[in-house]
Structure 1
Amino acid sequence: MVPVMDKAALEAFLAREFPQVRDDFVIEEVAPMAVRVRMVVAERHLRPGGTVSGPSMFALADVGIYLAILAMIGPKALAVTTNCSIDFMRKPAFGRDLICEARLLKLGRVLAVGDALIFSDGMEGAVARAGLTYSIPPTG
Protein backbone atom coordinates (compact mmCIF):
# COMPACT_ATOMS: atom_id res chain seq x y z
CA MET A 1 0.00 0.00 0.00
CA VAL A 2 1.16 3.49 -0.84
CA PRO A 3 0.28 6.53 1.30
CA VAL A 4 -2.39 8.77 -0.23
CA MET A 5 -1.33 11.78 1.86
CA ASP A 6 2.29 12.92 1.99
CA LYS A 7 4.04 15.06 4.60
CA ALA A 8 2.83 18.36 3.11
CA ALA A 9 -0.79 17.17 2.90
CA LEU A 10 -0.73 15.93 6.51
CA GLU A 11 0.79 19.20 7.71
CA ALA A 12 -1.90 21.19 5.89
CA PHE A 13 -4.60 18.95 7.40
CA LEU A 14 -3.25 19.45 10.94
CA ALA A 15 -3.03 23.22 10.45
CA ARG A 16 -6.61 23.37 9.14
CA GLU A 17 -8.35 20.92 11.48
CA PHE A 18 -6.26 21.24 14.67
CA PRO A 19 -4.74 24.74 14.71
CA GLN A 20 -4.56 24.64 18.53
CA VAL A 21 -1.84 21.96 18.47
CA ARG A 22 -0.23 22.27 15.05
CA ASP A 23 2.89 23.94 16.49
CA ASP A 24 3.41 21.08 18.96
CA PHE A 25 4.03 18.44 16.30
CA VAL A 26 6.47 18.19 13.38
CA ILE A 27 5.96 15.41 10.87
CA GLU A 28 9.42 14.06 10.04
CA GLU A 29 8.66 11.11 7.79
CA VAL A 30 5.72 9.43 6.07
CA ALA A 31 6.06 5.85 4.84
CA PRO A 32 3.59 3.08 3.98
CA MET A 33 1.68 2.27 7.20
CA ALA A 34 4.02 4.45 9.30
CA VAL A 35 4.97 7.98 10.30
CA ARG A 36 7.59 9.60 12.49
CA VAL A 37 6.41 12.67 14.41
CA ARG A 38 8.33 14.98 16.74
CA MET A 39 6.74 16.73 19.70
CA VAL A 40 8.40 20.08 20.28
CA VAL A 41 8.53 19.93 24.06
CA ALA A 42 7.66 23.20 25.81
CA GLU A 43 7.06 24.15 29.43
CA ARG A 44 3.33 23.38 29.08
CA HIS A 45 4.21 19.70 28.47
CA LEU A 46 6.10 19.31 31.74
CA ARG A 47 4.96 17.97 35.09
CA PRO A 48 6.51 18.72 38.50
CA GLY A 49 10.09 17.51 38.50
CA GLY A 50 10.67 18.78 34.96
CA THR A 51 9.79 15.63 33.04
CA VAL A 52 7.30 15.39 30.18
CA SER A 53 3.83 14.55 31.48
CA GLY A 54 2.03 11.32 30.69
CA PRO A 55 -0.87 13.12 28.98
CA SER A 56 1.64 14.84 26.65
CA MET A 57 3.20 11.49 25.73
CA PHE A 58 -0.26 10.05 25.15
CA ALA A 59 -1.04 12.98 22.84
CA LEU A 60 2.09 12.27 20.81
CA ALA A 61 1.25 8.56 20.46
CA ASP A 62 -2.34 9.40 19.54
CA VAL A 63 -1.35 11.98 16.93
CA GLY A 64 1.25 9.60 15.49
CA ILE A 65 -1.23 6.78 14.91
CA TYR A 66 -3.90 9.22 13.68
CA LEU A 67 -1.50 10.63 11.07
CA ALA A 68 -0.37 7.14 10.01
CA ILE A 69 -4.03 6.24 9.39
CA LEU A 70 -4.78 9.46 7.50
CA ALA A 71 -1.67 9.01 5.38
CA MET A 72 -3.16 5.71 4.17
CA ILE A 73 -6.90 6.51 3.91
CA GLY A 74 -6.98 10.25 3.27
CA PRO A 75 -8.27 13.23 5.27
CA LYS A 76 -11.01 11.71 7.44
CA ALA A 77 -11.15 14.04 10.43
CA LEU A 78 -13.70 11.87 12.24
CA ALA A 79 -11.47 8.82 12.68
CA VAL A 80 -11.40 8.43 16.47
CA THR A 81 -9.44 6.60 19.14
CA THR A 82 -11.44 3.74 20.64
CA ASN A 83 -8.74 2.21 22.83
CA CYS A 84 -5.25 2.99 24.11
CA SER A 85 -2.84 1.19 26.38
CA ILE A 86 0.39 2.97 27.21
CA ASP A 87 3.49 1.86 29.11
CA PHE A 88 5.83 4.50 30.51
CA MET A 89 9.25 2.84 30.63
CA ARG A 90 11.81 5.51 31.53
CA LYS A 91 12.04 9.21 32.22
CA PRO A 92 12.61 11.34 29.10
CA ALA A 93 15.79 13.45 28.95
CA PHE A 94 15.31 16.93 30.40
CA GLY A 95 14.56 19.63 27.82
CA ARG A 96 14.61 17.29 24.80
CA ASP A 97 11.92 16.80 22.16
CA LEU A 98 10.08 13.49 21.95
CA ILE A 99 9.92 11.43 18.78
CA CYS A 100 7.14 8.97 18.00
CA GLU A 101 7.63 6.12 15.55
CA ALA A 102 4.06 5.09 14.75
CA ARG A 103 3.20 2.08 12.63
CA LEU A 104 -0.06 0.48 11.68
CA LEU A 105 -0.33 -3.22 12.41
CA LYS A 106 -3.77 -3.57 10.81
CA LEU A 107 -5.71 -1.21 8.61
CA GLY A 108 -9.21 -2.53 8.05
CA ARG A 109 -12.40 -1.03 6.67
CA VAL A 110 -13.74 -0.13 10.14
CA LEU A 111 -10.83 -0.45 12.58
CA ALA A 112 -7.13 0.33 12.57
CA VAL A 113 -4.64 -0.97 15.13
CA GLY A 114 -1.27 0.67 15.64
CA ASP A 115 1.83 0.64 17.78
CA ALA A 116 3.69 3.79 18.84
CA LEU A 117 7.20 3.88 20.27
CA ILE A 118 8.20 7.17 21.89
CA PHE A 119 11.84 8.19 22.21
CA SER A 120 13.50 11.14 23.91
CA ASP A 121 15.73 12.86 21.35
CA GLY A 122 19.35 11.80 21.84
CA MET A 123 18.56 9.08 24.38
CA GLU A 124 18.91 5.31 23.90
CA GLY A 125 15.78 3.20 24.22
CA ALA A 126 12.11 4.04 24.14
CA VAL A 127 10.60 6.07 26.98
CA ALA A 128 7.05 4.84 26.28
CA ARG A 129 5.12 2.38 24.14
CA ALA A 130 1.45 2.61 23.25
CA GLY A 131 -1.00 0.37 21.44
CA LEU A 132 -3.99 2.18 19.96
CA THR A 133 -7.16 1.17 18.14
CA TYR A 134 -9.05 3.63 15.96
CA SER A 135 -12.55 3.55 14.52
CA ILE A 136 -12.65 4.63 10.88
CA PRO A 137 -15.81 6.44 9.73
CA PRO A 138 -17.79 4.79 6.93
CA THR A 139 -17.20 6.06 3.42
CA GLY A 140 -19.93 7.91 1.62
Structure 2
Amino acid sequence: MSATKQEIATFMAAEFPQSKCIVEAVGDGRATVSHKVGSDELRPGGTVSGPVLMGVADVALYVAILGEIGIVPLAVTTSLTVNFLRKPSADARILGECKLIKVGRLLAVGEVSLYSEGSSDPVAHVVGTYAIPPQREGLIKEGKKLDV
Protein backbone atom coordinates (compact mmCIF):
# COMPACT_ATOMS: atom_id res chain seq x y z
CA MET A 1 0.00 0.00 0.00
CA SER A 2 2.72 2.45 -0.95
CA ALA A 3 2.43 5.66 -2.95
CA THR A 4 4.56 6.80 -5.88
CA LYS A 5 6.48 10.05 -6.17
CA GLN A 6 3.88 11.39 -8.60
CA GLU A 7 0.91 10.40 -6.40
CA ILE A 8 2.51 12.09 -3.40
CA ALA A 9 3.46 15.21 -5.39
CA THR A 10 -0.12 15.51 -6.70
CA PHE A 11 -1.54 15.03 -3.19
CA MET A 12 0.85 17.60 -1.70
CA ALA A 13 0.03 20.18 -4.41
CA ALA A 14 -3.70 19.76 -3.77
CA GLU A 15 -3.68 19.58 0.03
CA PHE A 16 -0.67 21.77 0.89
CA PRO A 17 -0.53 24.41 -1.87
CA GLN A 18 1.28 26.78 0.51
CA SER A 19 4.27 24.43 0.73
CA LYS A 20 7.27 25.31 -1.41
CA CYS A 21 8.74 21.83 -1.02
CA ILE A 22 9.28 19.73 -4.13
CA VAL A 23 9.26 15.94 -3.91
CA GLU A 24 12.55 14.88 -5.47
CA ALA A 25 12.56 11.15 -4.66
CA VAL A 26 10.61 8.62 -2.61
CA GLY A 27 10.86 4.88 -2.02
CA ASP A 28 12.42 2.15 0.11
CA GLY A 29 11.64 3.99 3.35
CA ARG A 30 13.36 7.15 2.15
CA ALA A 31 12.44 10.51 0.66
CA THR A 32 14.21 13.61 -0.57
CA VAL A 33 12.52 17.00 -0.81
CA SER A 34 13.87 20.41 -1.80
CA HIS A 35 12.89 23.95 -0.83
CA LYS A 36 13.96 27.10 -2.69
CA VAL A 37 14.77 29.71 -0.06
CA GLY A 38 13.11 33.09 -0.48
CA SER A 39 14.41 36.38 0.90
CA ASP A 40 11.41 36.50 3.27
CA GLU A 41 12.67 33.28 4.90
CA LEU A 42 16.00 34.70 6.03
CA ARG A 43 16.95 35.90 9.48
CA PRO A 44 19.34 38.79 10.14
CA GLY A 45 22.81 37.77 9.06
CA GLY A 46 21.49 35.92 6.02
CA THR A 47 20.70 32.60 7.64
CA VAL A 48 17.66 30.50 6.76
CA SER A 49 15.08 30.66 9.55
CA GLY A 50 14.60 27.70 11.89
CA PRO A 51 10.89 27.35 11.06
CA VAL A 52 11.77 26.90 7.37
CA LEU A 53 14.25 24.15 8.22
CA MET A 54 11.75 22.45 10.52
CA GLY A 55 9.10 22.65 7.82
CA VAL A 56 11.35 21.03 5.22
CA ALA A 57 12.21 18.23 7.65
CA ASP A 58 8.55 17.68 8.51
CA VAL A 59 7.59 17.46 4.83
CA ALA A 60 10.45 15.03 4.10
CA LEU A 61 9.29 12.79 6.93
CA TYR A 62 5.65 12.95 5.79
CA VAL A 63 6.60 12.15 2.18
CA ALA A 64 8.71 9.14 3.24
CA ILE A 65 5.84 7.83 5.37
CA LEU A 66 3.28 8.28 2.58
CA GLY A 67 5.69 6.44 0.31
CA GLU A 68 5.46 3.46 2.67
CA ILE A 69 1.81 3.45 3.79
CA GLY A 70 0.07 5.19 0.89
CA ILE A 71 -1.85 8.46 0.94
CA VAL A 72 -3.09 8.75 4.53
CA PRO A 73 -4.04 12.42 4.94
CA LEU A 74 -4.57 12.29 8.69
CA ALA A 75 -1.09 11.04 9.59
CA VAL A 76 0.23 13.84 11.81
CA THR A 77 3.45 14.91 13.48
CA THR A 78 3.59 14.01 17.17
CA SER A 79 7.18 15.05 17.84
CA LEU A 80 10.00 16.79 16.03
CA THR A 81 13.45 17.31 17.54
CA VAL A 82 15.88 19.51 15.65
CA ASN A 83 19.61 19.92 16.12
CA PHE A 84 20.87 22.95 14.19
CA LEU A 85 24.45 22.22 13.16
CA ARG A 86 25.68 25.06 10.96
CA LYS A 87 24.50 28.12 9.08
CA PRO A 88 22.65 27.18 5.88
CA SER A 89 23.41 29.05 2.68
CA ALA A 90 20.91 31.77 1.82
CA ASP A 91 21.66 31.23 -1.88
CA ALA A 92 21.04 27.48 -2.14
CA ARG A 93 18.01 25.24 -1.95
CA ILE A 94 17.53 23.31 1.26
CA LEU A 95 17.51 19.55 0.70
CA GLY A 96 15.84 17.24 3.22
CA GLU A 97 16.87 13.60 3.08
CA CYS A 98 14.70 11.33 5.22
CA LYS A 99 15.28 7.74 6.27
CA LEU A 100 12.52 5.96 8.14
CA ILE A 101 13.71 4.10 11.20
CA LYS A 102 10.47 2.26 11.98
CA VAL A 103 6.97 2.19 10.55
CA GLY A 104 4.58 0.54 12.94
CA ARG A 105 0.85 0.13 13.19
CA LEU A 106 0.23 3.45 14.91
CA LEU A 107 3.54 5.34 14.84
CA ALA A 108 6.30 6.00 12.33
CA VAL A 109 9.75 7.30 13.29
CA GLY A 110 12.34 8.75 10.97
CA GLU A 111 15.38 10.96 10.77
CA VAL A 112 16.07 13.77 8.35
CA SER A 113 19.37 15.34 7.40
CA LEU A 114 19.09 18.86 6.00
CA TYR A 115 21.68 20.26 3.59
CA SER A 116 22.33 23.42 1.65
CA GLU A 117 22.41 22.22 -1.94
CA GLY A 118 26.00 21.78 -3.10
CA SER A 119 27.36 21.01 0.36
CA SER A 120 27.86 17.59 1.92
CA ASP A 121 27.89 19.03 5.45
CA PRO A 122 24.44 18.85 7.09
CA VAL A 123 22.97 22.10 8.42
CA ALA A 124 20.54 20.29 10.73
CA HIS A 125 19.63 16.81 11.95
CA VAL A 126 16.00 16.06 12.78
CA VAL A 127 14.22 13.11 14.38
CA GLY A 128 10.46 12.96 14.15
CA THR A 129 7.49 10.76 14.96
CA TYR A 130 4.16 10.64 13.16
CA ALA A 131 0.90 9.19 14.44
CA ILE A 132 -0.84 7.01 11.87
CA PRO A 133 -4.65 6.97 12.05
CA PRO A 134 -6.36 3.66 12.85
CA GLN A 135 -7.66 3.22 9.27
CA ARG A 136 -4.50 1.20 8.62
CA GLU A 137 -5.91 -1.56 10.82
CA GLY A 138 -7.63 -3.02 7.74
CA LEU A 139 -4.23 -4.11 6.42
CA ILE A 140 -3.95 -6.74 9.14
CA LYS A 141 -7.11 -8.38 7.80
CA GLU A 142 -5.57 -8.38 4.32
CA GLY A 143 -2.70 -10.50 5.59
CA LYS A 144 0.01 -7.86 5.89
CA LYS A 145 2.04 -8.05 9.07
CA LEU A 146 2.55 -4.69 10.75
CA ASP A 147 4.91 -3.80 13.57
CA VAL A 148 3.59 -1.90 16.55
Q: Same fold (TM over 0.5)?
A: yes
Match of 1:117 in 2: 113
What is the percent sequence identity of the aligned residues? 43
Contact 1:93 / 1:123 at 8 angstroms: preserved in 2?
A: no
Is 1:17 aligned to residue 15 of structure 2? yes
Aligned to 1:102: 98
State how many pairs are aligned.
136
C-alpha separation in 1, matches of 2:43 and 2:75: 29
Establish whether residue 91 from structure 1 lines up as the match of residue 67 from structure 2: no
Which residue number in structure 1 is paired with residue 145 of structure 2?
A: none
Aligned-residue RMSD, C-alpha: 1.2
3-state SS of paired residue (1:78): coil
Instruction: Indicate conservation of the 8 Å contact 2:29/2:64, yes or no.
Output: yes
Segments of 5+ residues of structure 2 without an aligned counterpart are: 139-148
Q: Tell me which residue corresponds to 1:128.
A: 124
- Letter of the aligned partner of 2:58 in structure 1? D
Letter of the aligned partner of 1:83 in structure 2? S
**CA displacement, residues 35-94 of structure 1 (integer Å, 9 cap, x when unaligned):** 011111112221111110001000000000011001111111111111111000000123
Q: How far apart, in 2, do the equivalents of 1:114 and 1:42 lie?
A: 27
TM-score, normalised to structure 2, is 0.88
2-side partners of 1:44 and 1:108: how far apart?
38
> By how many angstroms is 1:9 displaced?
0.5
Q: TM-score, normalised by structure 1?
A: 0.93
Unaligned runs of 5+ residues in structure 1 are: none
Q: Separation in 1 of the partners of 2:36 and 2:113?
A: 16
Is the 2:42–2:90 Cα contact (8 Å) retained in structure 1?
no
Cα separation, 1, equivalents of 2:76 and 2:120: 31
